Amino acid sequence: MRLLSMGALLSALLTLVAALALRAADATLAVAAVAAVTVLFTWYAQLHSTDERSTLGLANPAAVLTLAVVGRRPWATILPALAAHTVGAVLGGLAALGLDDRLGDTLVFTQPGLVVTAVGAAVVGLIGAWTTLSVDGGGHEALSGIPAIVGGAVLPLGLLTVFQPAAVIGLATADLVPWDVALVAAGTTLVASIVGAYAVTALVPHE
């Protein structure tokens, strides 16, 4: 229960940071802020990992699925973890919505179509699976910032948290992303994280 609560808290914080970052001076700062927080949360999550089980899923619900595929997390924990992350992100989105009048205009210039959203989220999800397994295998936590940077580059800024499906739902709650776009983005990233895990383990067996 403690780890579920921590996952919810990290999703809430990432959602709030992303909502605030969307009011940054420019898009580069917004992406950099989200990537930096992602690396920090990944470092924290990794502190709880053991030889038998990874806890990188504390930082990202997509990582929960990736890790389950390679046997580093029990499948039975997936639904509670996804639910906890979603609840936390929605709470973070509500907090951002409550601050909306005080934060000024956002940097969201355009909203993507559903096809563009799905393609971009698939690319980010595949990369996210690779970085998750790389960090879990002993790679530097800074690798976890790559999906955030790629997402910020290939999709409109409103989806800068596409690598973290719960946070996308949180931004929709904050009325920063349309709900249909958010649901497609979140669902595609989750599916891509599973496909990516199988692809990475086929190419480079995970130990």
pLDDT in tens, 109-124: 567 789 999 999 999 9
Q: What's this model's pTM, rounded to 2 decimal places?
A: 0.89
In the prediction, which pLDDT does 69 show? 92
Confidence of residue 108 (pLDDT cuts 50, 70, 90): low
Cβ atoms of residues 56 and 136 within 8 Å: yes
Of 43, 74, 67, whose CA–CA distance to 132 is shortest? 67
Confidence of residue 206 (pLDDT cuts 50, 70, 90): very low
The pair of structure tokens assigned to 101 is 């009048």
Cβ atoms of residues 186 and 81 within 8 Å: no
Of 37, 35, 57, 59, whose CA–CA distance to 145 is shortest? 35
**What is the distance between the alpha carbons of residues 144 and 131, in angstroms, rounded to a whole number?**
6
Ordered by start, the domain boundaries in the chain are: 2-203
Instruction: Dump pLDDT digits (tens) for 48-89.
Output: 888 788 888 899 999 999 999 988 888 988 999 999 999 999
CATH 1.20.1080.10 describes domain 2-203: yes
Cβ atoms of residues 148 and 122 within 8 Å: no
In the prediction, which pLDDT does 109 show? 58
Please check the confidence at residue 102 and state whether its pLDDT lies above 90.
Answer: no
Please check the confidence at residue 180 and state whether its pLDDT lies above 90.
Answer: yes
**What is the distance between the alpha carbons of residues 170 and 176, in angstroms, rounded to a whole number?**
9
Of 33, 11, 45, 54, whose CA–CA distance to 173 is shortest? 11
In the prediction, which pLDDT does 107 show? 67
**What is the distance between the alpha carbons of residues 51 and 76, in angstroms, rounded to a whole number?**
19
**What is the distance between the alpha carbons of residues 121 and 196, in angstroms, rounded to a whole number?**
12
Mean pLDDT of 7-19: 94
In the prediction, which pLDDT does 68 show? 93
Q: Which amino acid is at 195?
A: V
In the prediction, which pLDDT does 185 show? 95
In the prediction, which pLDDT does 89 show? 96
Instruction: Dump pLDDT digits (tens) for 15-30.
Output: 999 999 988 878 889 9
- The enclosing H or E element of 68 equals helix 61-69
Instruction: Dump pLDDT digits (tens) for 138-168.
Output: 889 999 999 999 998 888 888 999 999 999 9
- DSSP state at residue 30: H
In the prediction, which pLDDT does 131 show? 94
**What is the distance between the alpha carbons of residues 183 and 173, in angstroms, rounded to a whole number?**
11
**What is the distance between the alpha carbons of residues 159 and 176, in angstroms, rounded to a whole number?**
9
